[in-house]
Amino acid sequence: MAILTRKKSASKKRKAPASQRTWSIGFLTLAVAIYIFYTYIVPHSPQGFQDQIQTWFPPSALNEALVWVIAALGLNIVVGYAGLLDLGFVAFWAIGGYTAGWFMSGFFYQLNIHFGSESPKHFPGIHFSFWIVLLLGALICAFFGILIGAPTLRLKSDYLAIVTLGFGEIIPQVFVNGENIHGFNLSNGTKGISPVDNIGLFGKRLGPFDLNYKYMIFVFMAALMVFISLRLRSGRLGRAWLAIREDELAASMMGVPLMKTKLSAYAVGAISGGLAGVAYATHVNGIFAERFQFSISIILLAMVVLGGMGNVWGVMVGALLIAWVNSTGLPAVGNEINSTFNTNINFPSYTFLIFGGLLILMMLFRREGILPESRLKMVLHETDDEIRNEEPHEFISEEEAL
């Protein structure tokens, strides 16, 4: 019997990597197909077809959706793996973006530091290579992830959410009011930092309209976060995160170091937020404080929950779907409806109404998400089965009891 059990467990271990390889091959195949489609097919298509593509699936919206994917994968580590409810993830996105603004522009005009950048040497400011700034953004956000996560170690559920919400509100406000901090200009306030340096790729300077090359870079960054997420998930640290998510008390009794494990989840998730912030700054060619609103944290959390909390591929699907609906899908559908029925409804103004209704429907009928994690799905349905199989208790009057 023990031998059969070992064989079954070994076969399960062999099946899991095959499934991940299938998803990975599918992701890379789709990424290459999309690049070929936008680079070689769309430019040689009839003008009407090109107009439809620009209306429904513009390349800029696709690149922005990949930035959302990078950030959502990081939040999935905190929420989906470790079970720590984080409502302030926008803070790491902002820190990563301002890292790009500080080290890839002429913001600090008093200095003249160039290292690996494509900008001319006589331009004032700090001009580092995009790839170096990615590393800096990841390290700075990892530090702030630990700093923000440290006060939350003793908190759970609603209290944890409130504290992270507080940090998510504080840090963007620091950048909004950071134009004069005791005479030091930290963020240029509401005016923002623009422009940022172009990305250098194989000796080529990528301008604002080199969307295909930026698409390749963002796909590489998303693939890197997928690789990190999957490797951590199958390792000792990932198993410790899952143990804390299932039962923190039981995990601590089994020897899981709670402080170290929780801080590592915040740090790794913050790294992803920093990468997304740097990528976003190069995507919009600047960084502006008013864009880092609380709604970004809520949208990221919706991507994780709707896609499938704890499942990397489900989170990617949820992020791509919600990002497309938010930026392109809802306005395009609204224009079609208005032109068909001769109405004048501003559909983008109902974004949060639609998101709220979608969340309610998902929580009622498919709360595990579009592509749920197998363990989370089993736990949720196990609870439902227990409630369903519970025999109804007959009412016994006081006289019958006597």
Per-residue pLDDT reduced to its tens digit, 300-349? 999 998 888 889 999 999 999 999 998 898 899 899 999 988 888 888 88
Residue 158, token pair as written in the block: 């609603």
- Distances 11 to 5, 84, 232, 363 between C-alpha atoms, Å: 10, 32, 21, 33
Give mean pLDDT in consecutive 10-residue pieces for the chain, a chain of 402 residues. Answer: 46 58 90 94 92 93 95 94 90 95 93 88 92 95 92 82 90 91 90 90 78 93 94 91 89 90 94 95 92 90 90 93 91 90 87 82 83 72 55 48 42
Per-residue pLDDT reduced to its tens digit, 190-228? 899 999 998 988 777 887 778 999 999 999 999 999 999
The DSSP output letter for 199 is E
pLDDT recorded at residue 7: 44
Phi–psi pair at 316, nearest 5 degrees:
-60, -45
What's the CA dihedral at 94, 99, 100, 104 to 10 degrees? 150
The DSSP output letter for 155 is -
- Distances 389 to 365, 380, 383, 384 between C-alpha atoms, Å: 19, 14, 10, 9
How many Å apart are CA 299 and CA 113, to the nearest integer? Answer: 37
Residue 277, token pair as written in the block: 């912030």
Residue 337: Cβ within 10 Å count: 13
pLDDT recorded at residue 376: 67
- Distances 338 to 48, 56, 285, 331, 351 between C-alpha atoms, Å: 20, 16, 33, 10, 16
pTM over 0.75: yes
pLDDT recorded at residue 4: 44
